[in-house]
A and B are shown apart, each in its own frame.
Chain A
């Protein structure tokens, strides 16, 4: 499902696999898929609503694939210190877990999960130092929080909204930690807008 990532000598291959290669679904993912059994069997779930939920999930999967690719770019940039690289790979692993959970849900709903693109448009020329990579990642994570915040109200299935909220929380933690690493206020306000 997830596109095979190119190898790079700057990565600790064993550590990388250890962090991201586990096919262990979180409690939320399992609960999400479990909850869908009753939702799919329920009389209230009509095809139009399910199709819309699948489209929204696939949009989320596409954005998660982009995040995985972005962290791969950062990891292979040679610009990250050992500690930051470790965190980046951990976050990338989270995004892979999101994809696994979301794609499994799409399949359970009778849809087909979108694949990663063969290439992405990233501002590679602007990434010249570690802080550039961190800012790039922080902007992506911030965007992800916005995307999930905008998607949660439109899910027909409340189990999906709940799972999206769980993923949103994870993205928000990433964003805060990246901001902290950049020397910015990690939590700039009481509300996110």
Chain B
């Protein structure tokens, strides 16, 4: 039943052309977020910096403050603290949210996908084996 509701929501989104549809907490799961995270893996990984900064410990961190990575002034000067709300805004359109960032990524238009990805990112704490 839950799957059917979820599929209906997706279907409605496709037909309405809207990417910002209502969803419930039960629609958001970490496994889906981990799958969406593969879109980030051209530049990022969990525990160490690559072309982009590592994501372990991202939550509640000030943007552009992860030690050992050279951030753009645009990000370090943004004053952003990474929370569910700020990540949602940034991931929707990174270059519009922080003009001057090196993150040349068009963004994730689907609010459900953003929520799932953010849910997964929130698990990347020092307790997570992916961060060791």
Write the residues of chain A forming the contact surface with B, with a CB cutoff of 8 angstroms. Answer: 48, 52, 55-56, 58-60, 62-63, 66, 120-121, 139, 142-154, 193
Interface of B is mostly: loop
List residues 92-112 of chain B with CB under 8 A from any CB of chain A.
95, 99-107
Is B105 within 8 A of A151, CB to CB? yes
Chain A residues lying within 8 Å of B101, measured Cβ to Cβ, are: 55
Residues of B within 8 A of A63 (CB): 42-43, 50-51
26 A-B pairs in the complex with CB atoms less than 8 angstroms apart: A52-B99, A52-B104, A55-B72, A55-B100, A56-B104, A58-B102, A62-B51, A63-B42, A66-B50, A66-B51, A121-B49, A121-B50, A142-B41, A143-B41, A143-B42, A144-B42, A146-B38, A146-B39, A147-B43, A148-B42, A149-B39, A150-B39, A151-B105, A152-B106, A154-B104, A193-B39
Q: How many A-B residue pairs have CB under 8 A?
A: 66
Q: Say yes or no: is B40 at the interface (Cβ < 8 Å to chain A).
A: yes
Whether a CB of chain A sits under 8 angstroms from the CB of B23 is no
Give Cα A61–Cα B100 distance, bound, in whole angstroms: 17
CB distance from B86 to the nearest CB of A (A): 19
**Chain B residues within 8 Å of A145, by CB:** 42
With A and B bound together, what is the CA distance between A157 and B81 in angstroms? 32
Known: A62-B51, A63-B51. A154 touches B105 (CB 8 A): yes
A151 contacts B50, CB within 8 Å?
no
Known: A55-B100, A55-B101, A150-B39. 9 other contacts (CB 8 A): A59-B43, A63-B42, A63-B51, A66-B50, A143-B38, A143-B41, A150-B106, A154-B104, A193-B39
- 5 closest A-B pairs by beta carbon, nearest first, are A147-B42, A56-B104, A143-B41, A143-B42, A153-B106
CB distance from A168 to the nearest CB of B (A): 10
Which B residues touch A146, using CB under 8 A? 38-42
Contacts from B to A (Cβ < 8 Å): 38-43, 48-51, 72, 95, 99-107
Expressed in whole angstroms, the Cα–Cα distance for A151 and B101 within the complex equals 13
Nearest-CB residue, chain B, relative to A48: B99
Smallest CB-CB separation from A53: which chain B residue? B104
Contacts of B41 in A (CB 8 A): 139, 142-143, 146
Tell me the bound Cα distance from A154 to B101 in angstroms: 12
Which of these, B40, B48, B49, B102, contacts A55 with CB under 8 Å? B102
